[in-house]
Structure 1
Amino acid sequence: MMYSVKELADMADVSRRTLHYYDELGLLVPAVVSDQGYRRYNEASLLRLQQIMFYREMGLELRQIRTLLDDPDFDLMTALRSHREALQDKVRRLQQLVQTVDTTIAHLHGEIAMSKKNLFSGFSEAEQARYEEEAVANWGEMASDSIKRWHQYGKARQAEILAEGGAIYEEIAANMAAGPASATIQASLKRWHNHLRYFYEPTPEIMAGLG
């Protein structure tokens, strides 16, 4: 069975422009191009697009994906098993993060005691390093300085800072009905402004962007 660009785009929930771009890169070439210039894709195209989307989910660049898929030694079943293992690891990590969120909420409500170490359960060092690289790439020197400042605190101090921030957010949320001009909210916002100094200097421009 053959599929048009629109049919494949709808099926995979990607844009037609994306499929055209993949064709230009030689990443996903149509099985057939009609005399009228219409692209047509077959079952093999669907499986290749699935692999592209799996590798994109893993953070690989398009040119890296093309190199992998075009390798004569590439084996689809081996790749699928590898994807399954990686996804299972990700599911386990996300489940742990959900548990950490739930435990932290209960801790901030005074329902349970929570150790400093458990504040960081489920966080992957590799993922954190990747996020930091992205932050530096997107925000430059300010992000780099903020990351260095954060790492200088050490785990115990980081836990205290996070707990303080959580308490401020809870305080603001609990008093929102009083309105932004109320003395209570203004006091909380001042605490929040000071809290941001643990990460970076909150200039008026930055505060305007956050607001």
Structure 2
Amino acid sequence: MMYSVKELADMADVSRRTLHYYDELGLLVPAVVSDQGYRRYNEASLLRLQQIMFYREMGLELRQIRTLLDDPDFDLLTALRSHREALQDKVRRLQQLVQTVDTTIAHLHGEIAMSKKNLFSGFSEAEQARYEEEAVANWGEMASDSIKRWHQYGKARQAEILAEGGAIYEEIAANMAAGPASATIQASLKRWHNHLRYFYEPTP
């Protein structure tokens, strides 16, 4: 199937001017140009545009992207797996930052005490490492075992676990009006109890 400039622009949510510019750069050349000068794109064009958008999201310049995509050794599946891992890393980092925001809000409301160090939890790997050291110093073997268990998961699995925890948290928050004894909240709390096993063995 072939696509016009307008169809591809609408599909990818980019401007027609952008597609024309990519053509001028040799970054995304139409599969066919009709005798009347109309550009037509095929399925391979769609996949290439997707790669361009992924790399743009990662901050690469257009000429760098063209060099990557035109490399004879470029492999689409390998690139997609790499994008997936990078996105999962980003999800994990954002989940950490969301947790930091939630903890800070609770601290400002006087609900919990929060160390100054924890104000910056999630902003860097070095900060996370220092947080873990603080946890071990405060909680000893329990914290150490929990940290070891966490680091046994791959980055992709960590992102999935964090996403699951965030979903449960949002589910509880959305149904608080039903009351703690409601079947909905109780089911969410049971899921949360099971979720904690990713980190340590919770008490029954």
Deviations 1:34-89 (A, max 9, x none): 01110000000000000000000101010000000000000000000000000000
Partner of residue 117, structure 1: 117
Which of structures 1 and 2 has the larger relative contact order (alpha carbons within 8 angstroms, sep 6+)? 2
Indicate conservation of the 8 Å contact 1:146/1:200, yes or no: yes
Runs of 4 or more above 3 Å deviation: 124-204
Offset at residue 124 of structure 1 (A): 3.4
Residues in 2 aligned to 1:17 and 1:139: alpha-carbon distance in whole angstroms = 58
Q: CA deviation at 1:27?
A: 0.3
Contact 1:168–1:192 (CA under 8 A) maintained in structure 2: yes
Count of residue correspondences: 204
* 2:8 match: 8
Rate the CA distance shift 1:140–1:176 in 2: closer, same or farther, 3 A: same
Going from structure 1 to structure 2, the CA distance change for 1:84 and 1:77 (only over 3 Å counts) comes to same
User: What's the RMSD between the two structures over aligned residues?
Assistant: 15.2
Q: Distance in 2 between matches of 1:33 and 1:141?
A: 67
Q: Measured at CA, do residues 39 and 159 of structure 1 come closer, stay the same or move farther in structure 2, by a change above 3 Å?
A: closer
Aligned pair in 2 of structure 1 residues 152, 46: CA closer, same or farther (>3 Å)? closer
TM-score by length of 1: 0.59
Deviations 1:97-144 (A, max 9, x none): 111111111111111111112111121379999999999999999999
175 and 24 in structure 1: CA distance in 2 versus 1, 3 angstrom threshold: same
**Alpha-carbon distance in 2 for matches of 1:137, 1:57:** 39
Contact 1:116 1:159 in 2 (8 A): no
**Separation of aligned partners in 1, 2:138 and 2:168:** 28
Alpha carbons 2:100, 2:121 under 8 Å: kept: yes
Which sections of structure 2, spanning at least 5 residues, go unmatched?
none
8 Å CA contact 1:116–1:156 kept in 2: the answer is: no
2: distance between equivalents of 1:111 and 1:79? 45
Query: What 5-or-longer segments of structure 1 have no aligned partner?
Result: 205-211
